[in-house]
Amino acid sequence: MIGEKNKDTGIFFETSCGWEQLLISGKSQFRKESESKASAAEKEGDDSITDLDAYLSKTKGSAKLFSKASEFFVGGQSHNARFFKPYPFFAARSSGKYIWDVDGNRFVDYWMGHTALILGHSPKVVTDELRDQIENGLFFGSPNIYAYELGELIHKNVPCAESIRFCTTGAEATMYAVRLARAASGRNIVVKITGGWHGYNSTLVFGVSSPFEEPESAGLVPGEEKYTRLISFNDIEEADRVLSSESQDIAAVIVEPVLGGGGVVPAERDFLVFLREKCDRIGSLLIFDEIITGFRLGLQGGQGYYRVLPDLCTLGKIIGGGLPASAIAGKKDTMKFADTSLFPSKKQRCWIGGGTFSENALAMRAGIATLRYLEAHAKDLYNRIGKFGTELRKKVDEAFAENGIRTQSTGVGSLFVTHFLADGQDVITCAEDVDLSRRDLEREYYFSLVSKYNIFFIPGHIGAISDAHEQSDIEYFVESSREVARRLKIKQRLKSQ
């Protein structure tokens, strides 16, 4: 074996002389010939180089790591959303708007840690706090001043947050929200949006992906979805029908103000207003899953942006400042059921913990630093990244339209994704529309951005702009999209001949 150290990342690899084993579509393949072709073509500026060959050529270290990692990690890594074919690149470091892989490739990042990094990677306001805390306790396992301070910031800014309970992941928070809603209402059924993603808890991992009516996973108890109902996003008529049909047993409706995994589709305000009014009429709770939109659409999140007040909300991502933290927050009359000092009886209390690492000092201080910075710069920051988002969505669609390709870039504020409309399709308003769109072209587009233009965007997932991005980044994104559109146009023309 030969030792090899990447000069850009400092990562040391063991390499076997002359071969690179890559896992593509579930099979090991040797791509030495393709890599040589890609390398030569890139030097000559050859536009005929395929996206796959370009990616294989520049991510040899990641290929090697993925092959080795697949020996003991399920699927070669530990999060389903982070995988894309032929293999994801392996990150080595990040700063500001950039992320570097183990091969030294630098990407402009629009995945931004699952949208969590609104200030960019490792912002100084956060890292300064973490450096100070490292010498003063990583994890106390007890109530602490930093949890109080972060909770106070959430209570101050989030309209429905009369009471708060910290936890660690978004899936925990949504699980607790559903349990609280059932405890407070004495009812069983939870209504969720088709295509809505709320983490892997069993009650809500239903109707997430197509075909929506089938169980989402093996290992779920048959009939697990017995007390879960689906409604289409932005469809008031269907929502009214479903909510009216079993109104006496509906505990809650849970909805993302902007569908995340369902296609980055923003809610129509009339739809959220209807849900609020209907829940009031039938005695059900309204839950906003604001894991993504909380502190992303503004200090008041989706509920402030849409001016609709839920009974409960879940928060995550941004509130941890890049570290794991989440919360469930809501009206005192509902949250009180989690207070075991008030309800010692098992029949009355709603038993929700926070998880061992809830309120850990590092995450709390990172969150405090992030939210304080957002408070201090709210007007300029949110206006700026929102303007970037509007410009990007508009100009990307124009770039594809110039080449005869119909797209709709959805999102709101700094969130975005581009959908490729199918024949006969005019608009995207829900996850079912996203499912009918040309997902193959969407994946090809975003993989091309990664492979040829060093723009990091996980194919098929949400994009997010951070405070670290600049006007020149948006312009480069649009121009890169225009180049992809031009190549797709040529490819489609050749197919039709």
pLDDT 10s digits, 322-331: 999 999 999 9
- CA dist 216 to 177, 203, 265, 438, Å? 21, 11, 21, 22
- Residue with token string 């090809």: 444
pLDDT > 90 in the chain, percent: 80
pTM of the model: 0.90
Tokens of 434: 């996203």
**Measured between alpha carbons, how far is 293 from 256 in angstroms, rounded to an integer?**
8
pLDDT of residue 497: 66
- CA dist 97 to 94, 174, 198, 221, Å? 8, 30, 27, 43
DSSP letter assigned to residue 82: G
Where is mean pLDDT largest: 1-15, 68-82, 204-218, 249-263? 249-263
- CA dist 276 to 17, 185, 270, 303, 309, Å? 64, 16, 10, 11, 8
Cβ neighbours around 279 below 10 Å, total = 21
pLDDT 10s digits, 126-167: 999 999 999 999 999 999 999 999 999 999 999 999 999 999
**Measured between alpha carbons, how far is 257 from 286 in angstroms, rounded to an integer?**
12
**Measured between alpha carbons, how far is 95 from 110 in angstroms, rounded to an integer?**
13
Which residues 6+ apart lie within 8 Å of 86 measured at CB?
A: 22, 23, 24, 25, 52, 55, 56, 63
pLDDT of residue 30: 29
Instruction: Yes or no: say if 233 and 428 are a contact pair by the CB < 8 Å rule.
Output: no
pLDDT of residue 2: 33
pLDDT band at 110 (very low <50, low <70, confident <90, very high): very high
Using DSSP's 3-state secondary structure scheme, residue 233 falls into coil
DSSP letter assigned to residue 84: -
Q: Angle 148-149-154 (CA atoms, 0-180°, nearest 5)? A: 95
Tokens of 357: 């690492």
Is the pLDDT confidence value at 27 over 80? no
Instruction: Yes or no: say if 235 and 270 are a contact pair by the CB < 8 Å rule.
Output: no
Radius of gyration of the chain (CA): 23
Mean pLDDT of 19-34: 35
Phi, psi of 121 (to 5 degrees): -75, 135
pLDDT 10s digits, 300-319: 999 999 999 999 999 999 99
**Measured between alpha carbons, how far is 290 from 297 in angstroms, rounded to an integer?**
10
Which residue type sits at 145? I
pLDDT 10s digits, 416-454: 999 999 999 999 999 999 999 999 999 999 999 999 999
User: For 124-250, where are the alpha helices, taking DSSP H only?
Assistant: 124-134, 145-157, 170-185, 236-245
pLDDT of residue 354: 82
DSSP letter assigned to residue 310: -
**Measured between alpha carbons, how far is 224 from 217 in angstroms, rounded to an integer?**
11
**Measured between alpha carbons, how far is 69 from 84 in angstroms, rounded to an integer?**
15
**Measured between alpha carbons, how far is 315 from 160 in angstroms, rounded to an integer?**
12
Within 13 Å and on the Cβ side, how many CA atoms surround 279? Answer: 26
Beta strand pairing call for 258-259 and 463-464: unpaired
pLDDT > 70 in the chain, percent: 90
Tokens of 457: 């965007």
pLDDT band at 31 (very low <50, low <70, confident <90, very high): very low
pLDDT of residue 47: 60
- The end-to-end CA distance of the chain, in Å, is 50
- Kindly report which listed range (73-87, 237-251, 261-275) carries the lowest average pLDDT score: 73-87
pLDDT 10s digits, 339-389: 988 888 888 888 888 889 999 999 999 999 999 999 999 999 999 999 999
Using DSSP's 3-state secondary structure scheme, residue 80 falls into helix
Cis peptide before 211 (omega within 30 of 0): yes
pLDDT band at 8 (very low <50, low <70, confident <90, very high): very low
pLDDT 10s digits, 85-102: 999 999 999 999 999 999
Cβ neighbours around 133 below 10 Å, total = 18
Instruction: Yes or no: say if 114 and 318 are a contact pair by the CB < 8 Å rule.
Output: no
pLDDT of residue 343: 84
Over the chain, what is the mean pLDDT?
A: 90
Mean pLDDT of 26-54: 52
pLDDT of residue 156: 98
More confident residue, 125 or 495: 125
Which architecture, in CATH terms, is 124-376?
3-Layer(aba) Sandwich (3.40)
Instruction: Yes or no: say if 130 and 362 are a contact pair by the CB < 8 Å rule.
Output: yes
**Measured between alpha carbons, how far is 495 from 497 in angstroms, rounded to an integer?**
6
Cβ neighbours around 27 below 10 Å, total = 7
Q: What does the domain layout of the chain look like in residue ranges?
A: 1-86, 124-376
pLDDT of residue 48: 57
